[in-house]
């Protein structure tokens, strides 16, 4: 059973661990919420931008002639038993001009596209001033056209157009053969379509109808590019374009008999038109408007693809007859979101989340003005956020589970063992003797195979080794202290006697005796030697460095270092230094150089002056210093072996470095081409 508050664990540790995990869990939740808030804000802002773009796109599309055609003809299009004519956004068509009528039909977008590269537009103008005419404009692909000869009563031997219009129980039929006319540049065939009325019994009028007007043009360019290469194996297929104006007597009667002109006719949606293009003879029609598979032009229901999830588009005609035209809603199925997630998303703050999204635009057309209203739905944004919440919930749940498992592992595997370790540590602390530094506590009873047993065994062995090391260090310190006391006692008396034998201050021997006395005073009664050297105090004074170096070179042989040369005849160079300590430094450096110089080679002393000080260079010819030891030779205890038959202590160069530092200078070793240089830098007085 896990105790909620294990005994022996400090309160601060318990609070720290549990507060850390609690804060980590809260931080994970806060991070998830902040991500959701930011995502909701970004989604709302992006949706607002998309909503504005949708309004602009829908408005621009409806302001285009193709969009105005869809507004004016909300219910027009293909039908199984014929075509229903459109009301054009133009007053009429200049059907005699091929270029103008093609541009007008293409811009209005009223063409139905059929399989076989054919198309057809059946429409009326939006102005009654153009008369009660119906326009049929289209194109088809065929081989060379056969023209009808003037005066020939047989119309079946040429290409011809058959049109049938049904409205209000009456049917109008025309058969229009192709009659040749003058060619134009770039046109293979240009001919007039002369319309002969047909009765219900199939009889044709002998004379063409005067108000029936039509033209047919065939391009000179072949549609199959490979057939243009000589020699052509098959006849060239060309596109033919026709434009026909059909006189509708009922439309004319309405315009002439009624006091108030109503245009377009209210029953225009009940009109059915059938168009066929026939070749010579009784073969199959080259084009039939009742052919299945026709692609209708742009219509208002196509705007549903422009709507986002939950948006509603309302189109209303303002005048001349106010009425609701169409209401479109994007009702795409969105994934259902749990109520808890919906409630969470609704509570997330977001700027402008309460403001309704609604935009209204007015589209002016020749047939009247239309009001376009687009309403947005931010609930769709919330539903899309539900997917983000679901994905994030897995991550947050995994993080919280990992935090919980980690806390339980720490409680079971660490906190309980910390309790035992704390108890043992407190007992060990009480058993430490401050004077002797020994630890008298037995931890062997806690040994075992688990982590705590291994830790207890290692701790017991460590405590035993610490006790042994402390005892050995105490014995060594006592022995070294006794040794230095004995050395100091034995040396001071002979030195005092020697000093009495050399009372003259200018006597060179007196100088060496005073140096030895200073060294004894530094080391007497102190242990270890490194601490004594570091704690020594020097008396700095002005010293003529050039004269001092001449004196050292002249008396080096008396110190057992022969062949020391200083060849510098310059004037006085004053530096700040302790004369005895500096001589001690040079003695150690010269002695080290003498041990490693090539036999018979001299040791040269050099002096270099600088703006702020002076450098003493000790050069000897011999082996280089190992690169790994070049920066460590001045450390205490670093030595390379025997010196004069005894094991070296690595103290000489350490003394040199320490004394130079106390005099405000530096010492450095360098490998040169023929040996080694030791450079001592001192500041000028």
Closest CA relative to residue 86, chosen from 66, 102, 103: 66
Which residue(s) pair with 329 in the sheet?
312
Percent of the chain with pLDDT over 90: 15
Q: Are 348 and 37 in contact (CB under 8 A)?
A: yes
**Kind plus residue range of the DSSP H or E element containing 400:** helix 379-410
Please determine, for residue 496, whether its predicted confidence score (pLDDT) is greater than 80: no
pLDDT at 532 over 90: no
Could you identify the residue written with the tokens 């065929």? 142
* pLDDT tens by residue, 81-119: 578 899 888 888 888 888 899 999 999 888 999 998 899
How far is the C-alpha of 418 from the C-alpha of 425, rounded, in Å? 10
- Cβ neighbours around 648 below 10 Å, total: 15
Q: Please check the confidence at residue 78 and state whether its pLDDT lies above 60.
A: no
pLDDT at 138 > cutoff 90 = yes
Mean pLDDT of 153-168: 88
Tell me, what's the pLDDT at 245? 93
pLDDT at 481 over 80: no
Contact call for residues 501 and 510 (beta carbons, < 8 A): no
Judge contact between 386 and 343, C-beta under 8 A: no
DSSP per residue, 225-251 = GGGGSSSPSSPPPEEEEEEEEEE-HHH
State residue 535's pLDDT score: 66
Comparing 219-223, 480-484, 598-602, which segment has the lowest mean pLDDT? 480-484
Find the helix or strand (DSSP H, E) in which 177 lies: strand 170-180
Q: State the pLDDT confidence band at 9, using cuts at 50, 70 and 90.
A: low
* Distance in angstroms (rounded) separating the CA atoms of residues 637 and 654: 8
Picking from 684, 685, 683, 652, the residue whose alpha carbon sits closest to that of residue 669 is 652
Least confident interval from 246-250, 412-416, 497-501, 585-589: 497-501
Predicted local distance difference test score (pLDDT) of residue 14? 73
What are the residues whose beta carbons fall under 8 Å from the beta carbon of 468, sequence distance 6 or more?
A: none
- What is the per-residue pLDDT for 646? 46
Nearest to 275 by CA among 175, 344, 178, 204: 175
Please name the residues in contact with 458: beta carbons below 8 A apart, sequence gap of 6 or more.
none
Question: What percent of the chain stands above pLDDT 70?
Answer: 79
Handedness of CA 190, 191, 192, 195 (dihedral sign): negative
Q: Domains along the chain? A: 1-74+299-330+339-384 (3.30.1140), 80-223+235-298 (2.60.40), 537-683 (3.30.565.10)
**pLDDT score recorded for residue 416:** 67
Nearest-angstrom CA–CA distance, 66 and 327: 19
For 145, other C-beta atoms within 10 Å of its C-beta total: 19
Which pair of tokens denotes residue 186? 């770039």
pLDDT given for residue 557 in this prediction:
83
Res 480 pLDDT > 80? no
**CA triple 275-279-282, angle to 5 deg:** 100
Q: Which residue has the higher pLDDT, 233 or 106?
A: 106
Average pLDDT of every residue of the chain: 80
* 514, two tokens: 């005073």
pLDDT in tens, 409-465: 877 766 766 676 667 666 666 665 544 555 555 556 556 666 666 776 777 778 778
pLDDT tens per residue across span 613-640: 899 999 999 999 888 888 788 887 787 6
Question: What was the pLDDT predicted at 436?
Answer: 52
For residues 521 and 502, what is the distance between their CA atoms, to the nearest angstrom? 20
- What does the pLDDT average to over 541-568? 86
Using the Cα atoms of residue 434, residue 435, residue 438 and residue 439 in order, give the sign of their dihedral. Answer: negative
Query: How far is the C-alpha of 599 from the C-alpha of 590, rounded, in Å?
Result: 15
Give the span between the Cα atoms of 63 and 438, in whole angstroms: 99
Greater confidence, 508 or 228?
Answer: 508
- Joined together, the tokens standing for residue 16 give 């720290």
Instruction: Say if residue 482's pLDDT is above 90.
Output: no
Per-residue pLDDT at 494? 62
* Residue with more model confidence, 26 or 493: 26
Q: What is the mean pLDDT of residues 387-410?
A: 85
User: Which stretches within 64-180 are classed as H helix?
Assistant: 65-72, 98-108
pLDDT level of residue 648 (50, 70, 90 thresholds): low
Say yes or no to pLDDT of 77 above 60: no
Q: Residue 527 — very low, low, confident or very high, per pLDDT cuts 50/70/90? A: very low
Question: Alpha-carbon torsion 304, 308, 311, 314, what sign?
Answer: negative
Give 310 or 287, the one with higher predicted confidence: 287
- How far from chain centre, in Å, is Cα 681? 56
Dihedral of the CA atoms 50, 51, 52, 57 (nearest 10)?
Answer: 80
Element (H, E) at 393: helix 379-410
Please give the average per-residue pLDDT across 331-356, as a whole number: 67
Structure tokens at 449: 């195979």
pLDDT higher at 285 or 229: 285
- What's the mean pLDDT in 538-562? 85
Which pLDDT score, from 0 to 100, does residue 240 have? 92
Q: 227: pLDDT confidence band, cut at 50, 70 and 90?
A: very low
Q: What is the pLDDT of residue 216?
A: 92
pLDDT exceeds 90 at position 244: yes
Strands (E) in 75-132, as ranges, are 78-79, 82-83, 86-87, 112-114, 118-124
**Segment 558-612, tens digit of pLDDT:** 777 888 998 887 888 899 998 888 888 888 898 888 888 999 899 999 998 887 7
510 Cβ neighbours under 8 A, 6+ residues apart? 499, 502, 503, 504
| Coarse DSSP helix, strand, coil percentages of the chain, rounded to the nearest 5 percent | 40, 25, 35
pLDDT number for residue 79:
46
Tokens 């607002």, residue located = 48
Q: At what angle do helices 379-410 and 339-347 cross, to 10 degrees?
A: 100
Residue 201, pLDDT score: 81
Mean pLDDT of 362-367: 85
Which spans in 190-338 are helix H?
Answer: 249-257
Top-confidence residue, 128 or 57:
57
Instruction: Give, rounded to a whole angstrom, the gap between the first and last alpha carbons of the chain.
Output: 79
HEC per residue, 332-384: CCCCCCCHHHHHHHHHCCCCCCCCCCEEEEEEEECCEEEEEEEECCCHHHHHH
What is the rounded CA–CA span in Å between residue 348 and residue 378? Answer: 13
Q: Mapping DSSP to helix (H, G, I), strand (E, B) and coil, where does residue 532 land?
A: helix
pLDDT value of residue 196: 92
The structure tokens listed for 351 are 């700027």
In angstroms, the CA 145 to CA 158 distance is: 8
| The residue to which tokens 């808030």 are assigned | 37
* pTM: predicted TM-score of the whole model, two decimal places: 0.52
At residue 642, the pLDDT reads 47
Average pLDDT over residues 315-341: 76
Instruction: Give the span between the Cα atoms of 608 and 679, in whole angstroms.
Output: 10
């Amino acid at each position: 059973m896990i105790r909620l508050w294990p005994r022996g664990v400090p309160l601060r540790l318990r609070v720290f661990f549990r507060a850390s995990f609690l804060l980590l869990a809260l931080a994970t939740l806060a991070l998830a919420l902040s991500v959701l808030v930011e995502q909701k804000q970004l989604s709302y802002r992006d949706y607002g931008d998309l909503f504005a773009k949708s309004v602009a796109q829908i408005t621009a599309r409806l302001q285009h002639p193709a969009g105005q055609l869809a507004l004016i003809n909300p219910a027009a299009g293909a039908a199984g038993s014929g075509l229903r004519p459109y009301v054009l956004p133009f007053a009429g068509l200049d059907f005699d001009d091929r270029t103008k009528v093609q541009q007008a039909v293409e811009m209005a977008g009223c063409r139905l596209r059929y399989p076989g590269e054919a198309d057809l537009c059946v429409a009326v103008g939006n102005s009654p001033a153009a008369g009660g005419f119906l326009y049929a404009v289209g194109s088809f692909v065929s081989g060379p056209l056969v023209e009808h000869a003037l005066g020939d009563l047989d119309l079946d031997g040429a290409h011809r157009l058959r049109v049938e219009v049904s409205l209000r129980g009456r049917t109008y039929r025309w058969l229009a053969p192709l009659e040749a006319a003058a060619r134009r540049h770039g046109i293979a065939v240009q001919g007039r379509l002369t319309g002969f009325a047909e009765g219900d019994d199939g009889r044709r009028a002998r004379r063409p109808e005067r108000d029936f007007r039509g033209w047919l043009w065939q391009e000179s360019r072949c549609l199959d590019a490979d057939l243009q290469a000589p020699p052509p194996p098959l006849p060239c297929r060309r596109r033919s374009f026709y434009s026909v104006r059909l006189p509708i007597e009922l439309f004319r009667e309405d315009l002439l008999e009624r006091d108030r002109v109503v245009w377009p006719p209210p029953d225009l949606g009940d009109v059915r038109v059938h168009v066929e293009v026939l070749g010579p003879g009784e073969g199959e029609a080259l084009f039939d408007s009742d052919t299945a598979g026709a692609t209708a032009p742009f219509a208002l229901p196509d705007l549903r693809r422009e709507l986002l999830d939950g948006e509603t588009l309302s189109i209303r005609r303002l005048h001349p007859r106010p009425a609701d035209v169409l209401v479109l809603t994007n009702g795409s199925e969105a994934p259902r979101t749990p109520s808890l997630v919906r409630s969470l998303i609704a509570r997330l703050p977001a700027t402008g989340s309460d403001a309704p999204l609604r935009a209204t635009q007015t589209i002016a057309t020749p047939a009247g003005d239309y009001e376009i209203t687009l309403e947005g739905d931010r609930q769709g944004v919330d539903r899309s956020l539900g997917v983000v919440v679901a994905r994030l919930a897995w991550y947050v749940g995994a993080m919280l589970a990992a935090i919980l498992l980690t806390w339980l592992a720490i409680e079971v595997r660490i906190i309980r063992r910390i309790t035992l370790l704390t108890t043992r540590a407190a007992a060990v602390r009480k058993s430490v003797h401050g004077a002797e530094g020994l630890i008298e506590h037995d931890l062997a009873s806690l040994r075992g195979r688990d982590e705590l047993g291994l830790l207890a065994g290692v701790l017991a062995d460590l405590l035993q080794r610490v006790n042994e090391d402390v005892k050995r260090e105490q014995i060594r310190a006592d022995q070294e202290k006794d040794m230095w006391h004995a050395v100091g006692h034995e040396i001071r008396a002979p030195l005092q006697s020697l000093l009495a034998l050399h009372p003259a201050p200018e006597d060179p021997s007196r100088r060496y005796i005073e140096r030895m006395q200073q060294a004894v005073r530094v080391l007497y009664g102190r242990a270890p030697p490194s601490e004594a050297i570091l704690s020594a105090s020097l008396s700095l004074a002005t010293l003529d460095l050039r004269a001092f170096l001449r004196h050292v070179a002249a008396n080096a042989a008396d110190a057992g270092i022969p062949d020391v040369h200083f060849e510098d005849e310059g004037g006085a160079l004053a530096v700040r230094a302790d004369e005895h300590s500096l001589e001690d430094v040079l003695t150690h450096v010269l002695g080290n150089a003498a041990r490693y110089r090539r036999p018979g080679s001299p040791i040269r002393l050099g002096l270099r002056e600088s703006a702020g000080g002076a450098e003493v260079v000790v050069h000897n010819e011999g082996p280089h210093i190992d690169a790994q030891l070049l920066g460590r030779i001045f450390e205490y205890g670093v030595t390379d072996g025997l010196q004069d038959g005894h094991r070296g202590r690595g103290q000489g160069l350490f003394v040199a470095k320490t004394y130079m530092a106390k005099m405000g200078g530096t010492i450095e070793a360098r490998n040169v081409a023929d040996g080694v240089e030791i450079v001592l830098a001192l500041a000028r007085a």
